[in-house]
Copies of this chain bind each other. A is one copy, B any other.
């Protein structure tokens, strides 16, 4: 029924071994023979059996990209960049690889299961993007998995995710702490003293680091911390909307709101507007990430730009062994403060 290597060999009047070598091109084959084989492949419309060759060669051309939320452009942009470098089809010539993105939905179990699935497929490389969940048992499980993957020859790269100690994994981390600190410092410099903070989900590294940066800036300015001014939520618009209402209820005198990311900030803007407050006249708002839509918000969003595409591309290249990993296997990628219309001097 299905065409196999042997069929091609028969048609080209050569041995299966020769066909295999023509297809893999890593062994001398006479030009005339090669041509004959190629013609046969074409005529029979032959497609290599992936599992069979992966089994025989003990390697596969699968590369996994794990993301927390594929519907979020933050991950989409990184995934897109990573994948462009992996080659996927159409990358640079040679070794066609199947770059696949796996959506964990932020769930530790799914993350682990995907890792197992990729291990099962003997993936050539795996790139994990975005923040990690901080629960100790989960972290340990992931570490163990990553170690095992490395041992099996799978290259592991972390992109926008903190390093995994005791692991061979290369890490490209975002300087969330520094970015957040600069952002809040900017607000403080403008004169703000009562700032609300809308954090992401607890137990996420990204959430913690950004919050720490925010608090560091506060502390540096001698502003005492008020636990009531921090609300945890998710990394989406809705969360920003609700959290803002809550913050306003707790303290109507807030003059600025710092959001965990741009989507959250957009939700915050919506809530403020509906509450009859102007931005930045009554309340300044700041986001994080600088996703494409942020510049289109009205007023446009002050935020911290993360070089998502660049970092992704680099991670992809490292995963393919086309770029030297950073010294020590760890590199920190800085964000850039983008001051725009949504932040201003506080009223009165």
Distance A64 CA – B292 CA, assembled complex (angstroms): 27
A114 cross-chain contacts in B, Cβ below 8 A: 88-89, 98
A269 cross-chain contacts in B, Cβ below 8 A: 296
Tell which of A13-21, A99-107, A211-219 binds the partner. Answer: A99-107
- For the complex, is A2 an interface residue (Cβ under 8 Å from B)? yes
Task: Pick the contact of A51: B69, B99, B122, B270 (CB < 8 A).
Answer: B122
Distance A54 CA – B113 CA, assembled complex (angstroms): 18
Count chain A residues whose beta carbon lies closer than 8 angstroms to a beta carbon of B: 65
Task: Pick the contact of A117: B54, B71, B96 (CB < 8 A).
Answer: B96
Contact residues of A between 206 and 259, Cβ < 8 Å to B: 236-237
**A71 x B60 contact (CB < 8 A):** no
Contact residues of A between 8 and 58, Cβ < 8 Å to B: 45, 47-52, 54-55
A246-286 vs B, CB cutoff 8 Å, 1 = contact: the mask equals: 00000000000000000100110110010000000000000
- For the complex, is A76 an interface residue (Cβ under 8 Å from B)? yes
Asked, given contacts A2-B152, A83-B70, whether A237 binds B292 with beta carbons under 8 Å apart, the answer is yes
A116-134 vs B, CB cutoff 8 Å, 1 = contact: the mask equals: 1111111000000000000
A48 cross-chain contacts in B, Cβ below 8 A: 120
**B70 x A76 contact (CB < 8 A):** yes
Output the nearest chain B residue to A309 by Cβ-Cβ distance. B71
**B71 x A77 contact (CB < 8 A):** yes
Output the nearest chain B residue to A113 by Cβ-Cβ distance. B89
**B88 x A103 contact (CB < 8 A):** yes
**B89 x A117 contact (CB < 8 A):** yes
A69 cross-chain contacts in B, Cβ below 8 A: 80
Asked, given contacts A50-B121, A52-B51, whether A88 binds B72 with beta carbons under 8 Å apart, the answer is no
A105 cross-chain contacts in B, Cβ below 8 A: 80, 84, 90
Task: Pick the contact of A49: B2, B55, B64, B293 (CB < 8 A).
Answer: B55
**A116 x B47 contact (CB < 8 A):** yes
Task: Pick the contact of A122: B45, B50, B112 (CB < 8 A).
Answer: B50
Distance A100 CA – B298 CA, assembled complex (angstroms): 36
A51 cross-chain contacts in B, Cβ below 8 A: 50-52, 54-55, 60, 121-122
- For the complex, is A338 an interface residue (Cβ under 8 Å from B)? no
Distance A73 CA – B77 CA, assembled complex (angstroms): 10
13 A-B contact pairs sorted by A residue (CB < 8 Å):
A47-B119, A50-B121, A50-B122, A51-B54, A55-B55, A61-B117, A70-B80, A72-B73, A76-B76, A89-B117, A96-B117, A98-B102, A101-B101
